[in-house]
Structure 1
Amino acid sequence: MSFQTIIITGHLGRDPEMRYTPAGQAVTNFNLAANRQYTDSSGQVVKETTWFRVSAWGKTAENCNQYLHKGSLVLVEGRLVCDPETGGPRLYTRQDGSPASSFEVSASTVRFLSGREGESEPEPAGNGSAAPQHDAIPF
Structure 2
Amino acid sequence: MDLRMPSINKVIISGNLVRDPDTRILENGTHLAKMSIANNQRFRDRSGEWQEKTCYVNVVAWRKTAELVSEYCRKGSPVLVEGELVYNSWEDRDGTKRSRLEVNARRIQFLEKRGQEGDFSDDGPGGDADADDSDSSIPDDDIPF
Give the Cα–Cα distance (whole angstroms) in 1 for the partners of residues 88 and 29 of structure 2.
Answer: 25
- Secondary structure of the 1:114 match is coil
After TM superposition, list the pairs within 5 Å mapping 1:32-111 onto structure 2. Answer: 32-84=37-89, 90=100, 103-111=101-109
> TM-score scaled by structure 2?
0.65
1:98-126, CA deviations, whole angstroms, 9 ceiling, x for partnerless residues?
A: xxxxx41110000001124xxxxxxxxxx
Q: Distance in 2 between matches of 1:48 and 1:22?
A: 39
Does residue 113 of the first structure (1) align with residue 102 of the second (2)? no
Runs of 4+ displaced beyond 6 Å: none
**CA RMSD of superposed structures (Å):** 1.6
Separation of aligned partners in 2, 1:55 and 1:109: 11
Q: How many residue pairs get matched?
A: 101
2:32 maps to which of 15, 20, 27: 27
Unaligned runs of 5+ in 1: 91-102, 117-139
CA-CA distance at 1:22 after TM superposition: 2.0
Structure 2 gap segments, 5+ residues each: 1-5, 91-98, 117-145
Report the 3-state secondary structure (helix = DSSP H, G, I; strand = E; otherwise coil) of the residue aligned with 2:89: coil
In structure 1, distance between residues paired with 2:86 and 2:52: 26
* C-alpha distance in structure 2 between counterparts of 1:67 and 1:19, whole Å: 15
CA distance in 2, matches of 1:35, 1:81: 22
1:73 deviates by: 0.5
Distance in 2, Cα, partners of 1:44 & 1:80: 33
- Shift in Å, 1:2: 1.6
Give the alignment's TM-score, normalised by structure 1. 0.67
